[in-house]
Amino acid sequence: MSKDPNTIYIGRKPTMSYVLAVITSFNSSDTKEVTLKARGQAITTAVDAAEIVHNRFMKELNVGGIMIGTEEMQREDGTRNVSTMEIKLTRD
């Protein structure tokens, strides 16, 4: 995965932490697009964060695209498939 400054990786933090990160990304520079990336159970947090930003704070945002996929993760007991999702938020 690339280290794009406009990419926010979703993990185990509270949803509002990611909402603040999205708002900060759009307000700190002349950013037109921010991408939320999540795997596994964090996908629900990514969707919640995108919806909160769009419905409460930045109504001018649009969903530029949603990409879903599967990654193979190596574990001690073998290989496991994990779902992935990318949500692109754009501003005109």
Q: What is the mean pLDDT of residues 60-79?
A: 94
The total number of structural domains in the chain stands at 1
Q: Is residue 83 part of a domain?
A: yes
**pLDDT confidence tier of residue 90, bands split at 50, 70 and 90:** very high
The model carries a pTM of: 0.90
Residues 67, 36: contact at Cβ < 8 Å? no
Residues 24, 57: contact at Cβ < 8 Å? no
Q: Is residue 52 part of a domain?
A: yes
Encode pLDDT of 13-44 as tens digits: 999 999 999 999 999 878 999 999 999 999 99
Q: Is residue 1 part of a domain?
A: no
> Is the pLDDT at 2 greater than 60, yes or no?
no
**What is the extent of the structural domain holding 30?**
7-91
Q: What is the CATH number of the domain that holds 50?
A: 3.30.110.20
Q: Is residue 44 part of a domain?
A: yes
Strands 78-91 and 33-39, by their bridges, are: antiparallel
**pLDDT confidence tier of residue 11, bands split at 50, 70 and 90:** very high
